[in-house]
Amino acid sequence: MGMSAVTAARWVERWECQQQRYAVDREERFTVIADVVEHVTHTVSGRLLLDLGSGPGTLAARLADRLPGSEVLAVDADPLLLELGRAHFGERLRYVRALIGAPGWLDALGLDRPVDAAVSTTALHYLDRATLSGVYRDLAERLRPGGVFVNGDHIAPDDPPLRALAQDIGRRHSERSLAFTHEDWSSWWSGAAADPELAPLLSAPDAAGHPPCAADDLPVSVHAALLRRAGFRHVGTVWQYGSSRVLAAVR
């Protein structure tokens, strides 16, 4: 018996609240990412879109709703998060389990044509510099000419005093919006482990999901340099609040 829609809805809502602790103005960030994808792909029919490190697929579902007729892949390494998404969002998305950056990770996606846009939010900061560089190269090879990669994540300024200032601005915004009143990452996962519908997905032999965070904390200039080296022609910030940044790279 699969997970019930009621259980999935409850845990996806908790996931959304929990994530607000870690992404400053997360809802606006999602909107900007969708705006970029729509702008770049508005003349494309049958769009193929990837959401990398999708979690349950909240951003992917927004893209599917914004751009009807698109094929949207929600890609994540965690079986629990993918199953929550399947039960909650249904057939709007195609869910694929893959560890981003692992050898041959794109092969698991079963892509049958060039990708029109790839997005990610609060996910790729887990990767070390070498792995991230490889992921950028992989994406550049699979995106169509003129396609776009949009990354919303913790991407700080280069200058240390400005980095400290950006972090403080983000913290103040989160305090004003009461983001820190939500449960944190550890609390969410502990609660999931205690739920009898979710626990089997956490205890399965192949349940290993996200790797530990590399904590490289790369500044914006390094991301831009890696993206250009990978083959992206145009790279730049399209939105920022504190250290929460949306970086767009056009193939």
Four-way CATH pick for 5-250: 3.10.270.10, 1.10.357.10, 3.90.1150.10, 3.40.50.150: 3.40.50.150
pLDDT of 224: 97
Angle formed by the axes of helices 79-89 and 58-66, to 10°? Answer: 40
Write the pLDDT tens digit of every residue in 39-90: 999 999 999 999 999 999 999 999 999 999 999 999 999 999 999 999 999 9
pTM for the predicted model, two decimal places: 0.93
Q: List Cα–Cα distances, 244 to 151, 163, 240, in angstroms.
A: 10, 11, 6
Write the pLDDT tens digit of every residue in 162-208: 999 999 999 999 999 998 999 999 999 999 999 999 988 887 655 55
Distance (Å, rounded) from C-alpha 17 to C-alpha 9? Answer: 12
Angle at 179 between CA 173 and CA 181, to 5 degrees: 135
Residue from 84, 79, 125, 128 nearest 102 by CA: 128
Query: Per-domain residue ranges for the chain?
Result: 5-250
Write the pLDDT tens digit of every residue in 102-139: 999 999 999 999 999 999 999 999 899 999 999 999 99
DSSP state of 177: T
